[in-house]
Chains A and B, each alone.
Chain A
């Protein structure tokens, strides 16, 4: 299992020297199985649509929308094709941010629908399931990239 993780940690707790995958997995909020599911969901959503889905889990600050948009602006790669799913479980807030190209294929209504189903699962405590299903729904809505662009 390999999940590309851009860590935002400023803490020393990850300064481990053991380099064990189990250390990494158990120190975070997800088990190895959960990480594998998230990994597959992110990668498949991105491959199927040609968009770039990234997933942020953490605090979003006081202005969650502004923080999420800021994160989106700073994500690497082509930000116009980027879709950021930002979850703040502590604040119980979920933000989906789409770039300019991505927004054409994922209109706000489609995002709102995915967010609605995600918050439904989240309210029952199924964090990973919500994210996986939400990503699937977003990628289904976006569809495959048009051949004209390739």
Chain B
């Protein structure tokens, strides 16, 4: 066996295998968000998922793909596109803002602090306006009756 053959067999083939495995690993992980590892900081936005409404209980299933964002901007999540902030409800947005996030623009923040002094929601920031109307600036009544807490 010549020197070249030895190098190809004992160095070239292992290197090629390592390269293939590396490429597969990189290609797989680049297409999806990184897996959560305990102890690492969570740098995503706060999200609040809720179940689909019961069929027939909410005027049809057309609203099922709804994604409500904090600034009343309709985003797209699954085939149906909704316009404006028409489905934004006060409770959801108030809760979204209750966790220390600031709404977009001063319009929303004034609505939140002054408790509905701004104009009714006629623009795309209508969601932020609804906070003032629905939240009324007062703390909500305590509704929690039980539960549990865990850490890991």
Binding site for B on A (CB under 8 A): 1-16, 19-21, 24, 26, 28-31, 38-39, 42-43, 45-47, 52-61, 64-65, 67-77, 79-80, 82, 84, 88-100, 102-103, 106-108, 111-112, 114-116, 118-120, 122-125, 127
Given contacts A2-B65, A2-B79, contact A28 B149 (CB under 8 A): no
Given contacts A24-B67, A47-B54, contact A54 B48 (CB under 8 A): yes
- Apart from A10-B97, A52-B50, what are 10 other A-B pairs with CB-CB below 8 Å? A4-B51, A4-B52, A6-B50, A6-B68, A9-B96, A10-B71, A21-B79, A55-B50, A74-B91, A76-B50
Contacts of B89 in A (CB 8 A): 76
Are A71 and B35 touching (Cβ within 8 A)?
A: no
Are B76 and A8 touching (Cβ within 8 A)?
A: no
Instruction: Give complex CA distance A15, B71 in Å.
Output: 9
Are A74 and B149 touching (Cβ within 8 A)?
A: no
Judge if B145 is at the interface, Cβ distance under 8 Å: yes
Are A10 and B150 touching (Cβ within 8 A)?
A: no
